[in-house]
Amino acid sequence: MLVSFAIAMAYLESAVVVYLQRALTMTPKTLFPLRSANVLGNLGGIEVGREVATLVMLITVGWLAGRSPLERFAWTAVAFGIWDIGYYFFLWVFIGWPTSFGTYDLLFLLPVPWVGPVWAPVVVSIALVVFGLLVARRFHVGESVRLGSRNYLLMFLGGLVVIISFTLHFRSILNGAIPHTFAWPIFVLGMALAVQGVAPLCGKQSSVSARR
């Protein structure tokens, strides 16, 4: 059910984006340069609220699917990853955008604009789905997943570094610059740290204690 919810949500949100673009006589090509006057205007606050609402919905369905904090986080990661990948897939089906994985997109607005090529959030989403399913499988077979504080720290730092790679040039983007470079070495570093944090989940049962 969670997978179905995430796919349906991706379809709905991509359809809404298409409707809004048609209503505002916009195309994805007019997204950059980013200027509040011709892109967001008075809709900026609504867009931020929509992003928050999206996160709330994904967290809620993950919370309902799991029983422990880690399992709930894992299912939230699965829902987020499937939703994000589905969002780009349905946009491509509807309007042929993105034209390639190298197409730049405005990913998020909180607390500053996140910008990057489409392949980057897709890689993050794939990693989230894999992580979530690994944890869910452990719980499904009756194992107790226990990650150490070092692992949580690595995941947190990795996520933070990935966010930095998306927001590194936010000031120039706000000033009307057109994105053409991405801090992929920083992105790779962040992903590597996060993967190191979840590495014990890929090992044998000896790496994760069994439930009594």
Per-residue pLDDT tens digits for 7-34: 999 999 999 989 988 887 777 777 777 7
Let me know if residue 173 belongs to a domain: yes
Quote the Cα angle for 199-204-208, to 5°. 70
190-209 pLDDT per residue, tens: 999 999 999 887 765 534 44
In a domain, 156, yes or no: yes
Query: Does residue 119 lie in a domain region?
Result: yes
Over range 68-80, report the average pLDDT: 93
Confidence of residue 40 (pLDDT cuts 50, 70, 90): low
Tell me whether residue 212 is in a domain. no
Band of pLDDT at residue 4, cut at 50, 70 and 90: very high
- Among 124, 49, 26, 17, residue whose Cα is nearest residue 81: 124
What pLDDT is attached to residue 20? Answer: 82
Report the number of distinct structural domains present in the chain.
1
Residue in this structure with the two tokens 């509040």, named with its chain if needed = 36
Is the pLDDT at 70 greater than 80, yes or no? yes
Note the pLDDT tens digit of each residue in 103-145: 999 999 888 899 999 999 999 999 999 999 988 888 878 777 7
Q: Is residue 83 part of a domain?
A: yes
Position 150 in a domain: yes
Residues 60-71 have a mean pLDDT of 92
Predicted TM-score (pTM) of this structure: 0.88
Q: Is the peptide bond before 98 cis (omega within 30 degrees of 0)?
A: yes
Contact 102, 35 (CB under 8 A): no
- DSSP per residue, 84-126: HHHHHHHHHHHH--SSSTT-EEEEE-SSS-EEEETHHHHHHHH
